[in-house]
A and B are shown apart, each in its own frame.
Chain A
Amino acid sequence: MKFETPAGINPIDKQTVIGKPTDRIEGPLKTTGTAKYAYEHNDVVSNPAYGYVVGAAIAKGRIKSIDQTKAKAAPGVLAIVTAASAGPLKPGQFYVDKLLAGPDIDHYHQAVAVVVAETFEQARAAASLLKISYTKTKGAFDLAAAKDSAPVPKQGQFGPPPQTNVGDFGGAFASAPVKLDETYTTPDQTHAMMEPHATIARWDGDKLTCWSSIQQINWGVRDIATVLGIPKENIRLISTFIGGGFGGKGTVLSDIIAASLAARAAGRPVKVALPRPLIMNNTTHRPATIQRIRIGATPDGTITAIGHENWSGNLPGGRPESSTASTRLLYAGANRFTQLRLAVLDLAEGNAMRAPGEATGMMALEIAMDEMAEKLKMDPVAFRLKNDTQEDPEKPGRKFSTRKLVECLQTGATKFGWSKRQTQPGTVREGQWLIGMGVASAIRGAPVMKSAARVRLSREGIVTVETDMTDIGTGSYTIIGQTAAEMMGVSLDKVVVTLGDSTFPESPGSGGQWGAASATSGVYAACVKLREAVANSLGVHIEDAEFVGGQVLAGNRSHPLGDAAKAAELVVTDEMTYGTLSREYAQDTFGAHFVEVGVNSYTGEVRVRRMVAICHAGRVLNPKTARSQVIGAMTMGVGAALMEELVVDKHVGFFVNHDLAGYEVPVHADIPHQEVILLEDIDPTMSPMKAKGIGELGMVGVAAAVANAVYNATGIRVRDYPITLDKLIDKLSING
């Protein structure tokens, strides 16, 4: 099915199952510990061996030698795989990192060997007996030092153009009566998902099956084939449940390659999980940024010039952190300039992490807007409202499909009690605590991608959905089940959802906030076809048929749905593809975040006291799972604001705090009550589902809202994330 014109009324609009705050259908599996994660598929491999990945001990240089004598002689050791023994390996088509390196080392903890043994403990013990000698060479680890020589990168597969110019930014900024020119920095961050990267690999002849934790099955198959140099047809990839990914498990990383090579070398299935302290330097991360923002305005608060430059670093060939994306679309202004610059750094690969580009860019832009409002003596909400636009500011005439940023800000201001905010910072005190309020807008693209599904109808009236879509903890099982139930007129308990298997029809997987809207549309397409097959089988006209209550009503007759499969199970496959609506309209999601913080006037400790998020993100397929996405994202935003930082040791050349004790993310005690309001947004330009993603929107802007609240509480403007107390106390007055 191809979606080319805005959707009319369709069965989804009935919203008898869709749009309900249904509990997750896979929830009981998770709460009882019976949902199987990658490393836990013990039923499918008998007698597995265990692989332990060894990371490079240096940041850059070359392996001189690997002495395997002691490791090979250690108890239980079956095989040792290194780049030298593995044969030629190519990088994948998304990540640029070499997944088994040698003799050249590109970054700290890059995988250099896999030790395979009968037990995990034996593999780990033997791994420490590998004697690897290195020759170190000088590396670049300091973004600030590399900044000035960093070139503008080429346009990548994702992300905005590396440079945009509209009107005369330079002239307009120079002549603007009120202007701001500030630099903001955001640190490297790690996904810190609960489940580590893990894979079980099994070879049957030249056929490879991997049970792995991976967000995009189709990319995974492509990249296993690319890296190992084997045909895609020989690969089966299964990812039934994922214990969090946040973009860190987009496609193939070292665990899959290590397990596959180890299984081949050992002649047995092999299990590999990356040890937690390896993950931060071995896999991908959100790269640090330096961002310069310039805004010019007239005294009434009309933005006349807006410029955003971003510097980030990566391994050679890696992508930039596209922090300028939101600035292109969020606010009006006739004269505009954005630019990305990309330095080469010899740290682990920088890549996608929840709302890549938007999350980082809005950390800067939305502080800048707060600063600009103050210069203009305007309320920060009013300043944003003043500069709303209903068309793409780079392409006048191109409308947003739907855009309720104004309503998000206004609704949030009312719910939050924004009118009680004191304009003068540092003036509200409760005991030792200074109290402040902050706001930020949110915007995140709403991509939809081609997605396919197979649906089956049994004579018992059970509808089974098969797609290689994944569930990374988001609720994919449930919303896909709700879609099929709505389409086929059955209750949710009559639907079976099976996901995450490359033998199923291809979806775009979980990533880029495209998963929910895309995968459910693929299921919609397949269900349209199944409805036709049902009508055909029952001998009724599809135009007359109504699917409701497990029955097919046509004229004055009623057939149990399962009757259509009496003779044989009905099986259909279809995919949803897209025309040009996404070019005709700017399709985005919007929101507003309101935060209240307390800052201890003695110690500078910052604690978030209240949070309200308003989201405008297409049809809400399930308010409960949508809310869960948003509160999780808000929590991640608090982490970004107040504590998350992979610290670079610029002498040694690595992320120092590479475990979950050193890399702090928020705990329950950090997170107060979070209120989430989902504004109605049925967007017919998206797909027949009229839905958009929400999982990344919920994070965008949160950190800046916290930063702005800290400023309002203390009068101290911190432009260098995270806002830790050492950046506050030297300026903080104990007595007010």
Chain B
Amino acid sequence: MKTFTYERVNTPVEAAAAAARTPGAKFLAGGTNLLDLMKLEIEAPPHIIDIGKIGLDKIESTPAGGLLIGALVNNTDLAAHSIVRRDYGLLSRALLAGASGQLRNKATTAGNLLQRTRCPYFYDTNQLCNKRVPGSGCAAIAGFSRQLGIIGTSNACIATYPGDMAVAMRALDATVETVNAKGAKRALSLDRFYRLPGQTPHLETILEKNELITAVLLPPPVGGVHIYHKVRDRASYAFALVSVAAIIQKNGSGRVAVGGIAPRPWRVEGAESLLPSGAKAFAAQLLTGARPTKENEYKLALVERTVAAVLNEANH
């Protein structure tokens, strides 16, 4: 771990302002991902801004019937919240499918959105990785890629977004709210929040420098059956090979976002009209343009079959 300086701030705008003062500074919330990365020197920020005391820890209903989730609400509280469980069961299930009880107690809503890939080559600083060291190359593409991305990837990077929460939020049409050092606010819909890697896989979101996430807004609930099916090699405490977040209505229409296959939660709204025709047609459309490796081409079938499992479950 590189030596760093540390400060604690009291408001969101102060946090953004503090970040503006020190290039490369990082916000510290739950720290469940950042501290691990710092110990391995994958992240080496010169300055840490502790945002643990700036509030943003409430879950509130909005006048329009939606739900505003503070950036620092922890995963445990969010998953257990009565409105979340009643109206956004998908989110609760996705959260509880991730990490462990101890991690969920610390991990925050904003931090979870920004967690970094689990590509093993990203994690080993001796290996080539364009995400960790831009322009250095990618050892994963010709290496062990069973866990890695099949779509939205590039010849510079095939890493996936590893989380569960954002996959559910993508299906729920969530919006990310932010503030900058001048107090200006933005609302970024989750469908454009994550960048695809292209030749710049180290740039992962459209957040601007010094911009702080303050909340996630969920639109009013849409009903339907909420299913989060996370497929992995062990039953708990593992990242998804494929995860499917689905909201299926009685008439067979629905929304489906998929995790574990792309640099961001993968949802193609245009494919969803095919859901009533079944998983095969839907998955074919969803995965158009996929470029799997030999080691992860099984994910093409796995996506289709997991969607089929979810549709089967929704009909029972």
Query: Which A residues fall within an 8 A CB radius of B?
Result: 57-58, 75, 121, 124-125, 128, 277, 432, 600, 602-605, 607, 642-643, 647, 649, 651-652, 656-659, 661-662, 664-670, 722, 724-726, 729-730, 734
The answer to whether B298 touches A664, judged by C-beta atoms less than 8 angstroms apart, is no
From A647, A659, A730, B298 is in contact (CB under 8 Å) with A730
Contact B305 A661, beta carbon cutoff 8 Å: no
Rounded to whole Å, the gap between the CB of B252 and the closest CB of chain A is 18
Tell me which residues from 201 to 257 in chain B have a Cβ below 8 Å from any Cβ of chain A: 229, 231-239, 241
Considering the chains assembled together, what is the distance between the CA atoms of A607 and B233 in angstroms? 10
Q: Are B302 and A725 in contact (CB under 8 A)?
A: yes
Besides the known contacts A121-B1, A277-B123, A649-B144, 15 further A-B residue pairs in the complex with CB atoms under 8 A apart: A75-B3, A125-B3, A128-B41, A432-B312, A643-B234, A651-B142, A651-B143, A656-B124, A658-B120, A658-B124, A666-B234, A667-B237, A669-B235, A669-B237, A670-B235
Give the CA-CA distance A93 to B123 in the complex, in Å.
34
Measured between beta carbons, the chain A residues less than 8 angstroms from B229 are 603
Known: A124-B1, A277-B40, A277-B123. A652 touches B139 (CB 8 A): yes
One of B41, B233, B235 near A724 (C-beta < 8 A)? B233
On whether the beta carbons of A664 and B301 are closer than 8 Å, the reply is: no
Min CB gap A406→B, angstroms:
35
Picked from A57, A75, A603, A722, the residue with its CB within 8 Å of the CB of B231 is A603
Identity of the chain B residue whose Cβ is nearest the Cβ of A606 in the assembled complex: B233
The answer on a CB contact under 8 Å between A602 and B306 is yes
Expressed in whole angstroms, the minimum distance between the Cβ of A557 and any Cβ of chain B is 61
A-B contact pairs, 16 of them (CB 8 A): A57-B126, A125-B2, A432-B313, A603-B302, A603-B306, A651-B143, A652-B127, A656-B124, A656-B144, A666-B234, A667-B237, A668-B236, A724-B233, A725-B231, A725-B241, A726-B298
Given contacts A432-B312, A656-B144, contact A664 B126 (CB under 8 A): no
> Which residue in B123, B233, B237, B301 is a CB contact (below 8 Å) of A729?
B301
Contacts of B306 in A (CB 8 A): 602-603
Give the interface centre of B120, B238, B308 by most chain A CB atoms within 10 Å: B120
List the B side residues contacting A661 at CB < 8 Å. 118, 239
Which residue in A657, A667, A670, A729 is a CB contact (below 8 Å) of B302? Answer: A729
Q: Which of A605, A643, A651, A726 contacts B146 (CB 8 A)?
A: A726
**Interface residue SS majority, chain B:** loop
Could you tell me if B139 and A649 are in contact, using CB atoms closer than 8 angstroms? yes
Answer yes or no: B121 CB below 8 A from chain A CBs: yes
Within the complex, what minimum Cβ distance (angstroms) separates B263 from chain A? Answer: 19
Q: Which B117-155 residues have C-beta < 8 A from chain A? A: 118, 120-121, 123-124, 126-127, 139, 142-144, 146
Give residues 1-20 of B contacting A (CB, 8 Å).
Answer: 1-3
Determine whether the beta carbon of A670 is less than 8 Å from that of B139: no
- Output the residue of B1, B121, B233, B305 with the most chain A CB within 10 A: B233
Q: Which B-chain residue is minimally distant from A662 (CB atoms)? A: B120
Given contacts A277-B124, A729-B305, contact A656 B236 (CB under 8 A): no
Complex CA gap A665/B118 in Å reads 17
A664/B309 in contact, CB under 8 A? no
Contact of B309 among A602, A607, A657, A666 (CB under 8 A): A602
Closest to B301 in A: A729
Q: Give the distance in Å from the alpha carbon of A605 to the alpha carbon of B126 in the complex.
A: 33
Counting residue pairs across A and B whose Cβ atoms lie within 8 Å, the total is 99
Nearest residue, chain A, Cβ from B313: A432
A665 to B239, CA, bound (A): 13
Which A residues are CB-close (under 8 A) to B143?
649, 651-652, 656
Instruction: Note all chain B residues with C-beta closer than 8 A to A667.
Output: 234-237
By DSSP majority rule, is chain A's interface helix, strand, loop, or mixed?
Answer: loop
- A121, A602, A642, A730: the one contacting B312 at CB < 8 Å is A602
Nearest Cβ distance between residue A582 and chain B, in whole angstroms?
40
> Which residue on B lies nearest to A643, using beta carbons?
B233
**B237 nearest in chain A by CB position:** A667
Scan residues 280-312 of chain B and give those whose CB is less than 8 A from a CB of chain A: 298, 301-302, 305-306, 308-309, 312
Residues on B with beta carbons closer than 8 Å to the beta carbon of A665: 234
CA distance A125 to B309 in the complex (A): 48
Chain A: which residue is nearest B295 at the CB level? Answer: A726
What are the nearest 4 A-B pairs in CB distance?
A602-B309, A669-B235, A726-B298, A669-B236
Which residues of the other chain, A, contact B124 by a CB distance below 8 angstroms?
Answer: 277, 656, 658
Q: A432-B309, A649-B144, A652-B127 are in contact. Are A607 and B120 (CB under 8 A)?
A: no
Q: How distant is the Cα of A54 from the Cα of B126 in the complex, in angstroms?
A: 12
Closest Cβ of chain B to A20, distance in Å, is: 35
Q: What A residues does B308 contact at CB under 8 A?
A: 602, 734
User: In the complex the two chains form, what is the Cα distance from A649 to B239 in whole Å?
Assistant: 20
Bound complex: CA of A516 vs CA of B106, how far in Å? 42
Looking at the assembled complex, report how far the CB atom of B132 sits from the nearest CB atom of chain A, in whole angstroms. 14
Q: Which residue of B lies closest to A647 (CB)?
A: B144
Q: Which residue of A lies closest to B298 (CB)?
A: A726
Within 8 Å CB of A668, what residues of B? 236
CB of B40, distance to nearest CB on chain A (Å): 7
**B70 CB to nearest A CB, Å:** 28
By a CB distance below 8 angstroms, the chain B residues around A607 are 235
- Bound CA span A726–B302, Å: 8
Residues of B within 8 A of A605 (CB): 231-232
Instruction: With A725-B233, A726-B146 as known contacts, state yes or no: A664 contacts B238, CB within 8 Å.
Output: yes
A723 to chain B, nearest CB (A): 10
Q: Which residue of B lies closest to A75 (CB)?
A: B3
CB distance from A120 to the nearest CB of B (A): 10
- How far is the CB of B98 from the nearest CB of chain A, in Å? 13
Residues of A within 8 A of B142 (CB): 651
CB distance from A74 to the nearest CB of B (A): 9
Residues of B contacting A669 with CB < 8 Å?
A: 234-237
* Contact B235–A734 (Cβ < 8 Å): no
Contact A602 B139 (CB under 8 A): no
Residues in chain A near residue B41, CB distance under 8 A: 128
A366-B236 Cα distance, complex, nearest whole Å: 29
Which residues of chain B are within 8 angstroms of A124 by Cβ–Cβ distance?
Answer: 1, 39
For residue B260, give the distance in angstroms from its CB to the closest CB of chain A: 12
CB neighbours of A729 from chain B (8 A): 298, 301-302, 305
Cβ contacts under 8 Å, B239 to chain A = 661
Contacts of A604 in B (CB 8 A): 302, 305
Cα A664 to Cα B241 in complex, Å, equals: 13
Chain B residue nearest to A129 (CB atoms) is B2
A734 touching B305 in the complex, CB below 8 Å, given contacts A656-B120, A657-B120, A662-B120:
yes
Q: Considering the chains assembled together, what is the distance between the CA atoms of A432 and B311 in angstroms? A: 12
Considering the chains assembled together, what is the distance between the CA atoms of A602 and B309 in angstroms?
6
In the assembled complex, the Cα of A57 lies from the Cα of B232 at a distance in Å of: 30
- Is B309's CB under 8 angstroms from A603's CB? yes
Give Cα distance in the complex from A722 to B234, angstroms.
Answer: 12
Pick from A75, A125, A604 the residue with the most CB of B within 10 Å: A604
Minimum Cβ distance to chain B for residue A732 (Å): 8
Determine which of A75, A603, A642, A670 lies in contact with B236 in the assembled complex, contact meaning CB atoms within 8 Å. Answer: A670
Residues of B within 8 A of A659 (CB): 123
A662 proximity list for chain B (CB < 8 A): 118, 120, 123
Complex Cα spacing A691 to B237, Å? 39
Cβ contact within 8 Å between B305 and A602: yes
**Known A125-B1, A603-B302, A726-B298: A657·B237 in contact at CB below 8 Å:** no
Chain A's closest residue to B139 (CB) is A652
B294 to chain A, nearest CB (A): 11
Select from chain B the residue with minimum beta-carbon distance to A122: B3
Q: Shortest distance in angstroms between A484's beta carbon and chain B's nearest beta carbon?
A: 40
Closest to B39 in A: A124
Q: Are B301 and A642 in contact (CB under 8 A)?
A: no
CA distance A662 to B127 in the complex (A): 16
Q: Bound state CA distance, A625 and B235, in angstroms?
A: 27
B143 to chain A, nearest CB (A): 5
Cross-chain contact A642 with B144 (CB below 8 angstroms):
no
Given A642-B234, A725-B241, decide whether A651 and B309 contact each other with a Cβ distance below 8 A: no
- Measured in the bound complex, the distance between the Cα atoms of B42 and A277 in whole Å is 13
**A642 partner residues in chain B, CB cutoff 8 A:** 233-234
Contacts of A75 in B (CB 8 A): 3
- Write out the residue numbers on chain B whose beta carbons fall within 8 Å of the beta carbon of A643: 233-234
